[in-house]
């Protein structure tokens, strides 16, 4: 077996956690990430028959039966992941229709997966049904998006339109827009189901007064989605209280669509 600390999928997650912490998106134990792993790749580093612990999940996800996930741990700090990946991260396989997580590696202090595990797994289920190449679900607390949910109406179309107008690239990066979940208590199956429902039509779901969920095919895509939306929110907050002399018009956004071959969400540019 190769040393798992040299596995590209693990090194990439460690780098991403560090980068997110450095962006200020993951204070204290804020934020969590889960990555669907390729079984063949994992078998170079782990004996998949050796289960360290069996942990009840409290939900079912039959579509994810037998799938392997690399997940951040509950109560763990992103800033510490790079110093001890085996303590702060774990590799799990879902069994019993998703009701049990079999720990294959990590959480060396007896810890377990993030408290947002239901939202992550339900979101994976949904995104895989939309895009079979989807692999990553990421949650964090970016300052400007979070602030925007206090001062901007939460209507998804209006929220998206504002973000699209703040930077030319936005509509190219997330043409499907962002969905917005009104405030709910976090860590529950209910917010997990609500998030997964919102993931049917967009890879970005804003949690009002909390943060954001992103989903994508790899860590770069998912990070980039959040990064782009967060930058747009930052521009919005810089100018929201100033008199606007001009902005990107609906016609401009249509021109970007045409030039870059992207299609904005049906009806959201009317
Ligand atoms: Zn959070």
* Distance from Cα 15 to the centre of ligand 1, integer Å: 20
* Distance from Cα 170 to the centre of ligand 1, integer Å: 24
Residue 59 has pLDDT above 90, yes or no: yes
Q: What is the per-residue pLDDT across 16-57, written as a single tens digit (0 to 9) for each?
A: 999 999 999 999 999 999 999 999 999 999 999 999 999 999
Query: Average pLDDT of 89-104?
Result: 98
* Distance from Cα 31 to the centre of ligand 1, integer Å: 5
* Distance from Cα 6 to the centre of ligand 1, integer Å: 29
Q: What is the per-residue pLDDT across 201-249, written as a single tens digit (0 to 9) for each?
A: 999 999 999 999 999 999 999 999 999 999 999 999 999 999 999 999 9
Query: Average pLDDT of 162-190?
Result: 97
Query: Average pLDDT of 151-174?
Result: 98
Instruction: Report the sign of the C-alpha dihedral through residues 24, 218, 57, 43, in that order.
Output: negative
DSSP state of 247: -
Res 270: pLDDT = 86
**CA nearest 59: which of 4, 102, 99, 117?**
99
Query: Average pLDDT of 118-139?
Result: 97
Res 195: pLDDT = 97
* Distance from Cα 223 to the centre of ligand 1, integer Å: 16
Identify whether the C-beta of residue 129 lies closer than 8 Å to the C-beta of residue 42. Answer: no
* Distance from Cα 217 to the centre of ligand 1, integer Å: 21
What are the two backbone dihedrals, phi and then psi, of residue 18, each rounded to the nearest 5 degrees? -65, -45
Query: Average pLDDT of 77-86?
Result: 98
Query: Average pLDDT of 166-178?
Result: 98
* Distance from Cα 89 to the centre of ligand 1, integer Å: 17
Res 268: pLDDT = 97
Q: Percentage of residues in the chain with pLDDT exceeding 90?
A: 100
Residue 72 has pLDDT above 90, yes or no: yes
Going by pLDDT thresholds of 50, 70 and 90, the confidence category of residue 58 is very high
Query: Average pLDDT of 113-120?
Result: 94
What mean pLDDT, rounded, does the chain reach?
97
* Distance from Cα 115 to the centre of ligand 1, integer Å: 9
Does residue 116 carry a catalytic annotation? yes
Q: What is the per-residue pLDDT across 129-140, written as a single tens digit (0 to 9) for each?
A: 999 999 999 999
Question: What is the distance between the alpha carbons of residues 237 and 53, in angstroms, rounded to a whole number?
Answer: 46
Identify whether the C-beta of residue 98 lies closer than 8 Å to the C-beta of residue 67. Answer: no
Res 74: pLDDT = 97
Res 261: pLDDT = 98
In the sheet where 136-140 sits, what is the strand order?
53-56, 100-106, 89-95, 68-72, 32-36, 136-140, 211-216, 204-207, 178-181
* Distance from Cα 50 to the centre of ligand 1, integer Å: 32
Q: Please tell me which residue in 39, 41, 116, 221 is annotated as part of the active site.
A: 116
């Amino acid at each position: 077996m190769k040393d798992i600390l040299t596995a590209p999928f693990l090194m990439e997650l460690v780098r991403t956690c560090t980068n997110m912490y450095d962006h200020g998106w993951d204070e204290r134990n804020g934020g969590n990430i889960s990555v669907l792993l390729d079984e063949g790749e994992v078998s170079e580093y782990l004996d998949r028959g050796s289960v360290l612990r069996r942990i009840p999940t409290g939900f079912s996800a039959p579509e994810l039966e037998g799938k392997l996930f690399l997940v951040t741990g509950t109560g763990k700090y992103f800033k510490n992941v790079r110093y001890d990946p085996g303590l702060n991260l774990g590799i799990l396989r879902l069994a019993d229709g998703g009701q049990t997580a079999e720990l294959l590696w990590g959480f060396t202090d007896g810890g377990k997966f993030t408290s947002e595990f239901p939202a992550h797994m339900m979101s994976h289920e949904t995104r895989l049904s939309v895009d079979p190449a989807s692999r990553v679900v990421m949650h964090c607390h970016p300052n400007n998006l979070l602030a925007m949910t206090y001062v901007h109406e939460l209507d998804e179309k209006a929220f998206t339109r504002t973000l699209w107008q703040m930077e030319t690239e936005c509509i190219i990066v997330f043409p499907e827009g962002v969905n917005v979940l009104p405030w709910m208590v976090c860590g529950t199956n209910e917010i997990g189901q609500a998030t997964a429902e919102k993931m049917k039509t967009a890879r970005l779901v804003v949690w009002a007064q909390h943060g954001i969920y992103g989903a994508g095919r790899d860590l770069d895509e998912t990070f980039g989605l959040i990064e782009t939306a967060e930058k747009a929110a930052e521009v919005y907050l810089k100018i929201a209280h100033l008199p606007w002399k001009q902005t990107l018009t609906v016609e401009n956004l249509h021109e970007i669509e045409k030039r870059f071959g992207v299609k904005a969400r049906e009806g959201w540019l009317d």
